[in-house]
Structure 1
Amino acid sequence: MCAIFRLALEQADRLRDLAIAWAHGQAFAGFLLVVLAGAAAALAAWLVRRFAPHATGSGIPHVEAVLRQEVPPAPFILLPVKFVGGLLAIGSGLALGREGPSVQMGASIAHVAAALSQRCWADSRVLMAAGAGAGLATAFNAPIAGAVFVLEELVQRFEQRIAIAALAASATAIGTARAILGDQTDFTVIALDHVPSFSLPLFLVLGAVAGLLAVGYNRSLLATMAAFERMRLLLPEVRAALVGAAVAAVAWFAPSFVGGGDALTQRALSGVEPLAFLPLLFLLRVVMGHASYAAGTPGGLFAPMLVLGAQSGLLFGAACLFVFPGLGVPVQAFAVVGMAAFFTGVVRAPLTGIVLITEMTAAFTVLLPMLGACCAAMLVPTLLRNLPIYESLREGTLRRERTLQKR
């Protein structure tokens, strides 16, 4: 299911790019058509509001709440709503990731399997956790990260039964997905040498900077969501249409800037992004990502976070090479480490971040600087008492559940 979701998103991206290229030949009428097509995100918001309220956003906070027995599992209707809604939202250009829908769809499929086989709650919980990990593994072609994510983030402790099931589910999911998608890594990075010992302190600084950026990211995302919730006079579909139209206007001028952002991440990892324009692009992606997530459509945070992490790491690395010309560390190493550090600062799951980025880039030679950077990225938000993003979002899930129960 998640492999088909990835293929559908790839086709949607191609169709969007082709449509924008065609629309450029239609002058102003073409621009209006592109903007109206972007407003199709309203349909995704309508599906969520009408059929499956828990399909909004990433879905990972909802899965966490279900595993803690804070909310009941979602009904089966969530699965098609998440698939179709995620395809509409991300395919229309919203800056959202595929991993959130994949995780929630994996947990939903596991819940159906548990119900059909009449498993008890303990067994159902194991299956749902394993299914969620398999979804993440498929989303990023990262089987070990899927299992680690289950233990570190979803259940937040080591449970032998869940560990065995998560490893088995991730392995079989990747075996199935690679038969459909191929076995190449998600990102291509030049062969990186081991980082010299004298440059390791710079990666600690990078981690601290990433931690500070993560605090700002978390706070601004929650503030954006709160601002959208205060717009009670506007239906969720109207808000999603406005956001989709605004993102489509950006796509008219720069099609590669919208969507999940894999192309932007690859450019940063290749070190070819124009440095003078990078800060503005970073801010643009933050604004688009926050508005897209607050619009109430299905879509995750991981992929947009990886874009920001790679861009911030690339910018930091370029600054280091400017100050220390003889450093001998390529900017690509900073971009790779920046991805893991920023992810760690936002989610507070360092093992998942390290394993995920290593599997996605095959950059095993930067594990040591990545470890130090993630330590610093974990420490800074903790000292500033900033909650991990999914813990904050889970509180919103619980409020939504209480509201639904009152209806």
Structure 2
Amino acid sequence: MGHRRASGWLRSTLAGDRPPTTRPTATGAGDLIGFVVAAACVGALTGLTAATFRLALTGAGGWRERLTASAHGHGVLGLLLVVLAGAACTTAAASLVRRVEPHAEGSGIPHVEAVVEGRAGPGRFRILPVKYAGGLLAIGGGGLALGREGPSVQMGSTVAVIVSSLARRSRADLRLLVAAGAAAGLATAFNAPIAGGVFVLEELLKSFHPRATIATLVASASGFAVAAPLVGGAPDFHVPALPGPRLSEAGWVLLVGVVTGLLGVLYNRAVLAGLHRVDTGRWPVEARAAVIGACVGLLAWFGPQLVGGGDHLTQEALLGHGTLPVVLGVLVVRFVLGVVSYAALTPGGLFAPMLVLGSECGLLVGLVAARVAPGSAPEPAALALVGLAAFFTATVHAPVTGLVLATELTGSTDQLPPMLGACAVAMTVAVVLRSRPVYDLLTDRAAARSVA
């Protein structure tokens, strides 16, 4: 009898029904142990899923790069092939979302936040395969300027829904496990287990309640442990040895905070404006995605390094490489490309594109400083790292996550004091300009669309 009931719950979840609410949240030691075991299972399964997604995404990106390189030997026909490939991959990803699972659209973090807040249902199991396949098509094949972390987070939350249903957890516990799955997904996406947990507690839950903290940290740790043998546990980015910060450099650090704060506010408004244009437009989803994919394919023909998630661009900025015209050009192109890519309504996150913009913005200030005050200016690479954390803070309003994420991504702690100062300034600029966190804005949209 018990087996038949469990099977029924799983079938209900796979079919798209909400997990049953069978009992209130218990508080005994036995229940807490069961809850911790469930969180560990969520983390482990999410780590496996997100790690294979990350590896597959690398393979898909390599295929796109090889196709573009070989196509250059065939002139106009090669150009047409690259453009059509970008259009086809992006169209397929958008069609999967529209026809199979609309909740798999975009980053996925806003939908997870709406679920955690109780403003939307947990969604259906098919979010996971649509997010997985759609992300590979859009980011890997199509080259859209989107990140792997959004799909990883939402796939983790879907894993949590299934585990919660099988374990007969209460609805309150389900929401906590959904948040825990999100932490595990982010931890795997960036090899950043602490940042994964902190982001969920600071941004999604906005609480450090003991039960929430336990679930989040356990899932993040178990996800990282399972994923590390597959993707490696080293920091994603390398930063050269940098001199310690000096008080005389504070002016340049504060300038990075002001510039990233302004740019972060502008980026949030641009992303929302792009989505508003899409929501109120009359173009069919597939047609719009095809045009966007074709444009990205055209850009890939002339500048293949400019498309995709952009990790290589972040790495170059963190090494301090670039000239003023090139860095400014990359910053402008990636700003526009990020907004346009998100408007395609395919699976893909905002974290990775934001890392590019933040590091390039900091590098730009660093290069200007090197010209204006040679010999006494901060290292451009140091300001690139500072800019990475500050831009994230300005857009997401999660300064602790920004500091921890920048540290875990690079393994560098030398620049924590200037990062703290720049994050404080960037956050102040965003608040003064009354800019809401980007995920709050997107969560409102996701909740409204879920009700509709």
CA contact (8 A) 2:149 2:351 kept: yes
Letter in 2 for 1:389: V
What does the per-residue CA deviation read over 1:202-227, in whole Å, with 9 as the maximum and x for residues that have no partner?
21221111101111111111111112
Picking from 79, 85, 99, the partner of 1:31 is 79
Kindly report which structure 2 residues correspond to 1:202-217, keeping only aligned pairs within 5 A, or say none: 202-217=252-267
CA contact (8 A) 2:369 2:378 kept: no
1:229, distance to aligned residue in structure 2 (A): 2.2
1:228, distance to aligned residue in structure 2 (A): 2.0
Picking from 115, 138, 159, the partner of 2:209 is 159
Answer with 116-125 or 88-97: which moved more: 116-125
Q: 1:114 corresponds to which residue?
A: 164
Answer with 276-285 or 84-93: which moved more: 276-285
Percent of paired sites with the same residue = 52
- Once residues 86 and 21 of structure 1 are traced to their aligned partners in structure 2, the CA distance between those partners, rounded to angstroms, is 22
For the residue of structure 1 that corresponds to 2:107, the secondary structure is: coil
TM-score by length of 1: 0.97
Structure 1 runs, 4 residues or longer, greater than 6 Å off: none
Picking from 105, 109, 132, the partner of 1:60 is 109
Q: 1:258 corresponds to which residue?
A: 307
CA contact (8 A) 2:367 2:380 kept: yes
- Once residues 300 and 190 of structure 2 are traced to their aligned partners in structure 1, the CA distance between those partners, rounded to angstroms, is 24
What does the per-residue CA deviation read over 1:87-135, in whole Å, with 9 as the maximum and x for residues that have no partner?
1000110000001001111111011100111111122122111110010
Q: 2:51 corresponds to which residue?
A: 3
For the residue of structure 2 that corresponds to 1:278, the secondary structure is: helix
- Once residues 243 and 326 of structure 2 are traced to their aligned partners in structure 1, the CA distance between those partners, rounded to angstroms, is 28
Letter in 2 for 1:401: S
Q: 2:391 corresponds to which residue?
A: 342
- Once residues 248 and 214 of structure 2 are traced to their aligned partners in structure 1, the CA distance between those partners, rounded to angstroms, is 40
CA contact (8 A) 1:341 1:353 kept: yes
CA contact (8 A) 2:265 2:394 kept: yes
Q: 1:226 corresponds to which residue?
A: 276
- Once residues 328 and 264 of structure 1 are traced to their aligned partners in structure 2, the CA distance between those partners, rounded to angstroms, is 23
Q: Does 1:283 align with 2:332?
A: yes
- Once residues 127 and 178 of structure 2 are traced to their aligned partners in structure 1, the CA distance between those partners, rounded to angstroms, is 14
CA contact (8 A) 2:120 2:451 kept: no
Q: 1:310 corresponds to which residue?
A: 359
1:4, distance to aligned residue in structure 2 (A): 0.4
For the residue of structure 1 that corresponds to 2:324, the secondary structure is: coil
Q: Does 1:14 align with 2:62?
A: yes
- Once residues 72 and 242 of structure 1 are traced to their aligned partners in structure 2, the CA distance between those partners, rounded to angstroms, is 32
For the residue of structure 1 that corresponds to 2:245, the secondary structure is: coil
Query: Aligned-residue CA RMSD in angstroms?
Result: 1.0
Q: Does 1:134 align with 2:180?
A: no
CA contact (8 A) 1:52 1:77 kept: yes
TM-score by length of 2: 0.88
Letter in 1 for 2:107: S
What does the per-residue CA deviation read over 1:386-405, in whole Å, with 9 as the maximum and x for residues that have no partner?
111111111111221122xx
- Once residues 236 and 116 of structure 1 are traced to their aligned partners in structure 2, the CA distance between those partners, rounded to angstroms, is 36
1:328, distance to aligned residue in structure 2 (A): 5.1
Q: 1:192 corresponds to which residue?
A: 242
- Once residues 295 and 302 of structure 1 are traced to their aligned partners in structure 2, the CA distance between those partners, rounded to angstroms, is 17
Letter in 2 for 1:36: L
Q: 2:32 corresponds to which residue?
A: none
CA contact (8 A) 1:192 1:363 kept: no
1:297, distance to aligned residue in structure 2 (A): 0.3
1:283, distance to aligned residue in structure 2 (A): 1.0
- Once residues 160 and 241 of structure 2 are traced to their aligned partners in structure 1, the CA distance between those partners, rounded to angstroms, is 39
Picking from 133, 136, 147, the partner of 1:87 is 136
Q: Does 1:352 align with 2:401?
A: yes
Letter in 2 for 1:140: F
Picking from 281, 284, 302, the partner of 1:235 is 284
Answer with 58-67 or 317-326: which moved more: 317-326
Letter in 2 for 1:26: H
The count of corresponding residues between Structure 1 and Structure 2 is: 402
- Once residues 26 and 215 of structure 1 are traced to their aligned partners in structure 2, the CA distance between those partners, rounded to angstroms, is 43
Answer with 56-65 or 393-402: which moved more: 393-402
Letter in 1 for 2:67: A
